[in-house]
Amino acid sequence: MFSIFSSYVQEDLFTFNIKNIKKEILNIKIKNKEKIISNYGGWQSENFLKINKNFKELFNQINLSVEKIEKNLNLEKKLILHNYWCNINYLSCFNRPHSHLGSVISGVYYVSTPKNCGNLIFENYDGNKNITYKFVKNYNKYNSTKWTVVPKENLCVLFPSYLVHYVEPNLNKKERISISFNYGF
């Protein structure tokens, strides 16, 4: 876990059999209408409130990762899964800058990540006004106002829901597949 001006971004690499998760997402796509929120092109499922039986093991692991952050935040109440949805970004598809207000922790789990499929970019606008950062010799994840996460299969990224983020365009002909989610009270 690292800090971005009192924010956190946690990256955990899981070891799940991605084939079964990918198969289930593609089945959901067949039965599910798309919605448009931050996505430009691509497909995004509706929000799900109940965990799909084929994602139960995955969300058990995500819950453990969320608990690590929960302890560091010293919260009075336990965080619970609010919702999740599936994403497929095809060639040239991307997600506009947005945040997930109304939740505490948001995240993404990467299922299929061909080369150049679109990085996840976090931005901390408040840091742009801080004059001390004019004197930084080398920018890193602790002192940058922008941070990039390169998607990898089985990577789970957790972040504060208020943190503005976006996904760069997929430059690969193969699709990028992920599951996004929100936790709150």
Q: Name the token pair of 170.
A: 């997929």
Task: Report d(CA 7, CA 160) in Å as an integer.
Answer: 7
pLDDT at 54 over 50: yes
Conformational region of residue 128, where left means phi above 0, alpha means psi within -120 to 50, and beta covers everything else: alpha
Q: How does the average pLDDT of the chain come out, rounded?
A: 89
pLDDT value for 110: 98
The phi and psi torsions of 39 (rounded to 5 degrees) equal -75, 140
Q: Say what the pLDDT of residue 141 is.
A: 66
Q: For the chain, how many structural domains are there in total? A: 1
Q: Does pLDDT of 181 surpass 80?
A: yes
Q: 18-37, pLDDT tens digit by residue?
A: 999 999 999 999 998 778 88
pLDDT, greater one: 139 or 165: 165
Domain extent, residue 8, equals 2-184
Query: What's the pLDDT score for residue 36?
Result: 87
pLDDT-wise least confident of 71-80, 93-102, 171-180: 71-80
Range among 34-43, 121-130, 147-156 rated most confident: 147-156
Residues 50-67: b if buried by 16+ CB within 10 A, e if exposed:
ebbeebeebbeebeebbe
How many residues are recorded in the chain? 185
CA distance 23 to 29: 10
Cα of 14 vs its chain's centroid, Å: 14
Q: Does residue 169 surpass a pLDDT of 50?
A: yes
Q: What is the CATH number of the domain that holds 173?
A: 2.60.120.620
> Does residue 6 carry a pLDDT above 80?
no
Question: What burial class does residue 76 get, using C-beta atoms within 10 Å of its C-beta: 0-12 exposed, 13-18 middle, 19+ buried?
Answer: exposed
The whole-number pLDDT of residue 167 equals 97
Categorize the per-residue pLDDT at 142 as very low, low, confident or very high, splitting at 50, 70 and 90.
Answer: low
